[in-house]
Amino acid sequence: METLLPLAILLIVSLLLCASILIVTQLLGPKNPVPSRLESYECGIKPESGPHVPFKSSFYLIAVLFLLFDVEAAFFLPWALVYKESLAEGPALLWALLVYLGLMAVGLFYILQKKILRLN
C-alpha cells in the first residue's frame, strides 16, 4: 500500500495536468476557424483521396513477430531473477536457458533468412 499510494497520486496529478493543458489552450487561444486552415496539410496540395494508402504487409509481420518475441523475452525476466541464486545448486538453470535460447535463436534465424524485414 505504501508503494501504491504515491503511484495513485501521480496518476491523478498527471491526469489533472492533461486536463489543465486542454482547458488553458481553449481559454487562451484565439478562435478563428478559416476553412482552408482546417483542411488536412499535405504540402499545400488538396488531398485527392482519404488517408488510407496500401501498406506493405511487412508492417503486420513486424507486429506479429514483436508479439511472439516479446512473450519469449518476458520469460527471460523471471529466469534472470533467480539465476544468480540457483548457481549454488548447480547449472540446472543454465541448461534450461540454453535449450530455450536455442529454440528462440532458430526462430530468429528463420526470420532473418526469409529477408522479410527488407521493406524496399
Partner 1 sequence: MTVLDFIIAGLKAIVILVAVIQVVPVMIYVERKVAALIQDRPGPNRVGPFGLLQPVADALKFLLKEDPIPLYTHRLLYTLAPFLSLIPACLVIAALPIADKAILFGKEITIQISDLDVSLIYVLAIGSLGVYGILFGGWASNNKYSLIGALRSASQMVSYELPLGLAAVGAVMVFGTFSLREMVLQQEGTLLGVLPNWGIFYQPIGFLIFLVASFAETNRLPFDLPESEAELVAGFHTEYGSMKFATFFMAEYMNLATMSGLMTVIYFGGWHLPWVTDAQLLELLGSQNLLCLIQVGTYIFKVSVFMFLYVLIRWTLPRFRFDQLLTLSWGSLIPIGLLNIVVSAILMYVLGGK
Partner 2 sequence: MKEAVFTFFSLFTLLTAAGVVLSRNVIYSAFNLVLCFFGLATLYLLWGATFISMVQILIYAGAIVVLFVFVVMLLNFEKPNERKTRLPIILLSSAGVWTFALILLRVLSKSVGEIPVLETTARASVRTVSKLLFSQYLWPFEVLTVFLLALIVGIFVLARPEGEEVK
Binding site for partner 2 (CB under 8 A): 1, 4, 8, 50, 52, 55, 57-61, 63-68, 70-72, 74-75, 78-79, 81-82, 86, 92-93, 96, 99-100, 103-104, 106-107, 110-111, 114-116, 118, 120
**CA separation for the pair 115, 104 (Å, rounded):** 17
Task: Indicate the residue type of 4.
Answer: L
Which grid coordinates are listed for 52? 488510407
CB of 6 to partner 1, least distance (A): 4
Tally of CA atoms within 13 A in the half-sphere of 8 that contains its CB = 5
Which grid coordinates are listed for 83? 539465476
Q: Which does 114 bind (CB under 5 to 8 A by kind): partner 2, partner 1, none?
A: partner 2
